[in-house]
Structures are given as structure tokens and as C-alpha cells.
Amino acid sequence: MIKMARIVLTTDETLTSTYHDVPLLDFLGCAPYDKIPKWVFRFLDSQIPDENGILTQAPYGLRKVEAALLRCCPREDIVVAHPRKVEMFIDENTEVVALYEMDPLGLGPVTMMFTNGGQWRSYTYVKFRELIERINRIRESRKLKFKIVVGGPGAWQLEMRRDERERLKIDHVVIGEVEHVACEIFQDIINENASETVFIRGWPKVEEIPTIVSPSYKGLVEVMRGCGRGCRFCEPNLRVARFIPLEKIESEIKVNMNAGIDHAWLHSEDIFLYKVEDRKNFYPNAEAVIELFEMARKYTRNVNPTHGTVAGALAVPGMIEEISRIVEANENHWIGIQVGMETADPEIIGRLMNNKMKPFSPEEWPWVLLNGTYVFNKNYWFPAYTTILGLPGDNDDAEIMTARLIITMEKELEEKLGNRAHFTVTPLAFVPMGVLKGEEFYRVEDMITYGQFLHLYYAWKHLAKEILKGLPKVMRGNPFLIPFFPLARLGVRIVLRQIEKWGKKKGFEVKKLEPLDIRIEVDEFRWNYKPSLAEAY
């Protein structure tokens, strides 16, 4: 029997698709909906199963809100509904329908890059709008009085675009970390005492962050919040760094494992800063990081971090080696990690991200990227780098340096490691966030320079190479991918030709660039994971 709920929690369909467990297809939501045949989205979409309309797995942030509300509400008052079946739980007793959103209006860095600065509709925007409009039709057709609320990491977009928010008849937008005040906020909304935009001041203490009670999407568990490195464009750096105790992380892994999820994704802004003690040089607390992976490995071999810094990996190469031993990384079992490269230019990295390269110096940044990638690859870690086009103070020399670094990394790593050399570089559009929120959005079609074009071209050229040599390995574990191999080979070549044609229209010609004069030297360091800085360098 379906039970109606006072509080219905949900999200849009781009956050409830497994995308057939194909690596990187989670970014399909960033794609331009109007430029890709609609059958592609339908074919690649595979939704999380539901039980009578209730999500069996849900985005991690949604699970945190659920857990926070269960502190003050009985279980029967709250439901986490599949977006396609949300109407099953709404009736005259429903008081709030709340959506957790990552990129509701398509203004995120990846999306802005792929939608020509927001000139085309993203898939995330289309599915968010469809869901909101359907909820509004339910409210209006049944003459119900529940409030529509949107929160999550993408809620800022609805504050920035208030006209869109009003057209969609969204009653409240909640911005900030909510767990410590969730009960009060929802009660204020129900009692009509809440502002249209609820800005949450401050952050929950570690003890105020609840442990999830139901499975999270793909087994994601949070190990820390905030970062502390202070990159000026980055929103998480505005938050205080907090470390989740090992026992709470273990409890959440157990919740997922008991639901049959054989994967532990350890989420942080930088996994190598877990329980860091050196807040001046950001030298990793290797023992704590290793202990974290040892604990997770008790439950599954499939342990992956979400994000990390290349400087943290290079600072203690032995830590990376030890983690690889713990999770049994090898040629057929790689550890993936997302890493911010941003730019190869030492001046920009020092001016806008002056802690990102620590314990190294800004001047060493290109060398750090090359040698850190070597440490990753030697130990079967696959870094997916992102760079940023249109950073404030950007110039063509800096952009060409980034393109040259990509060429250098490809050449040097293949010479040293052969087929074990793997990385990708994905250029993103600058989005004014963090301390730089007053700057202008980067629009690639209108703003691209020759240096940025070369940066973009060589990044995609390397990505094409990675797809051609790396896809067969990925295919082994996923039969769904087999028909896509010839399509992928053809597709990357088409994309490269299109980039070249687009460049010519802009007056840009692809030219051969020389590698940077840097070398892989990390093997000269001590590889044990407990050296002092003086011993290591």
C-alpha cells in the first residue's frame, strides 16, 4: 500500500540514472539537449530501480537531508521518491515537496562549456524543468497547498536567475549546508515563516552531520567537507574543513553494503587532506589516509576516491603505492580520481590558487603535474584532470603553456611507462563562484582566444587517444559498451575535425607545439610514506 507523505524528497532524473554504469556518462546531463538526437538520451538512460515509487538508492546529499529530518519527524512522514513517480506520494496532507539539485539551470562549469556558455539547453535543465512543471500541475490540478523547495549544491543558480525561479513557481530556495538546521527550516516553511531564499549561515559541526540511514547512489560516502587550500574560484573553499570520523564513514559503508552495493566511493574535495595536520604546507597525513582505505577495503575491493590533488600525491609517493597495494590495483583494476589542473601557468596558479601546489611552490607547478601524474600511473591510478578556460587575468602565453604541458605529459609518461600511461584533460568554462563570484561567465563562442583554442584542441586530441587505447580495457567489464567501440573511434575523430573546422572559422590554425623543458624525476625521492619534507626533497 502506498503511503502519502507530509514531506516528499526527490531530485531530477539526471541524478537517478545509472547510465548503464559507463564511466564518465554521469556527465551526460551536461550535454546540449537541442544538439544531440533525443534517442541518445533515451538509450543511455537507465534509472535506479524503485520499490513502490521509493528510490532504492538516492543522491548522497538527499540521503543526508532525509537523515537530518528523521531526527524530528516520524519515518512515515518522509519519503524519498523516484522523480518519475513523485505524484504517488502527494495528497492534501503533503506540506513540502523538496528537490535536491546539482545543476538545475545548466550553469555549472562542465555544462557551460558544452552548451556554448548556456546558449543551448542542457539535459539537466530540461529534466529539472520537466519535474518542476509536473509538480506544479499536480498542485494546481488538485488545488493543493504544499510548498515547492529547491536546495543542494546547485541552488545558487535559482537565486542568480530569479526570473526563471518565478516562472517555475518555486516557493523557497535553500542555500548552504542544511543538516544542523533542517528541522527548523522545514518547520518554518510549513508555518509560512521562511524567506523566499533561505541563506544558511555557518556550517554543521561534525557531530551534527547525521549518518545516512538508506543506501546512497553508487555507494558514495563523505569523508570530509571543505578543503582549506583556498582556491579563489572554488565554493567549497569558503567552508570550514571538517573530517568525518572513521567510525561514521564505516557505518555508512555498511548501509550501502547491506543493500548490495559493492563499491565505496570516498567523497571529499581532496582525499589527501583527510585529517591533515600541516595546514601551512598541506603535507598529507599519510597514516590517516591509509587507515581510511584499509577500513573501506575490509568491505570491498572497489574503493575509489572522488577528488584529490596531484601535489598531495607527489608529496608522499609511498602513500599512493601503499593504497594501491591495499586495494589490489593492477593493470585490470585502476583507481580513478578527479584532479584539478586548472592551468599550467605558475603565475596564475600562484595568484588565484596559492595553496593548490603545496607543499611545492607555484614555480614548480608544471613539474608537479608531470611528476605527480607519473606517481599516479605507476601505481595504477587514472587521473581525470580538469582545466579552466577564461580564468581572470588569463593570457595566451598561459594557455599555450597548458597545451604544451599536455603534450609533454603524453610524451614523457609514454616513454617511462608505455601502456601504463593514462590521464585525461577536460577544459571547463570559468564560472564566477567563490571569491570571484563578481566576475563574468566565460562563453567559449564569444570569448575564445588563439591560446585557448590550442589548449582546447590538444586536450581533446589527447582525450581521443585515450578513448582509442583505453576503451577496450573498460569494455571488458561492461558488455553494454561493446557496440560503442566503433562508434567511439569514429566519434572522437569527428569531434577533432569539428574543432579544427570551428577554429578555422575563428581564424585559428592548429600548429605544432614543442614540449616544455621538464622531466620525470620522482624516482629519485624516497617512496616510503612517512618521510619529512627535508628527507623527501
Per-chain mean pLDDT for the chain: 90
Q: Which of 185, 242, 258, 172 is nearest to 209 (CA)?
A: 242
The pLDDT, as a whole number, for residue 349 is 94
Mean pLDDT of the region 427-451 = 76
Q: Which residues contact 468 (CB under 8 A, 6 or more apart)?
A: 488, 489, 492
Nearest-10 crossing angle of helices 450-475, 396-417: 30
Q: How far apart are CA 84 and CA 78, in angstroms?
A: 17
Q: Which of 67, 342, 100 is nearest to 179 (CA)?
A: 67
pLDDT bracket for residue 534 (50, 70, 90): very low
Q: How far apart are CA 302 and CA 334, in angstroms?
A: 10
Q: Which of 120, 121, 69, 113 is nearest to 95 (CA)?
A: 69
Q: Which of 438, 266, 424, 455 is nearest to 344 (CA)?
A: 455
pLDDT bracket for residue 354 (50, 70, 90): confident
Are 223 and 266 within 8 A, CB to CB?
yes
Q: Which of 331, 341, 324, 309 is nearest to 418 (CA)?
A: 331
The pLDDT, as a whole number, for residue 269 is 92
∠ at Cα 231 (226, 448), nearest 5°? 130
Over the stretch 72-114, which tens digit does the pLDDT of each residue have?
999 999 999 999 999 999 999 999 999 999 999 999 888 888 8
Residue 500 predicted with pLDDT over 50: yes
User: Which segments of 180-274 does DSSP mark as H helices, in order?
Assistant: 182-190, 246-258
Q: Flag the least confident range among 7-21, 228-242, 304-318, 391-405.
A: 228-242
- CA 199 and chain centroid, separation: 23
More confident residue, 527 or 241: 241
The pLDDT, as a whole number, for residue 536 is 45
Domain locations in the chain as residue ranges: 7-199, 215-536
Structural fold of domain 215-536 = pyruvate-formate lyase- activating enzyme (3.80.30)
Q: What is the pTM of this model?
A: 0.91
| Residue written as grid cell 500541475 | 137
Q: Is 173 left (phi over 0), alpha (psi -120 to 50) or beta?
A: beta
pLDDT bracket for residue 494 (50, 70, 90): confident
| Residue written as grid cell 583507481 | 335
Residue 443 predicted with pLDDT over 60: yes
φ, ψ at 324 (rounded to 5°): -60, -35
Q: How far apart are CA 462 and CA 306, in angstroms?
A: 22
Q: Which of 345, 357, 336, 308 is nearest to 452 (CA)?
A: 345
Residue 181 predicted with pLDDT over 70: yes
Residue 226 predicted with pLDDT over 90: no
Mean pLDDT of the region 251-270 = 97
More confident residue, 524 or 122: 122
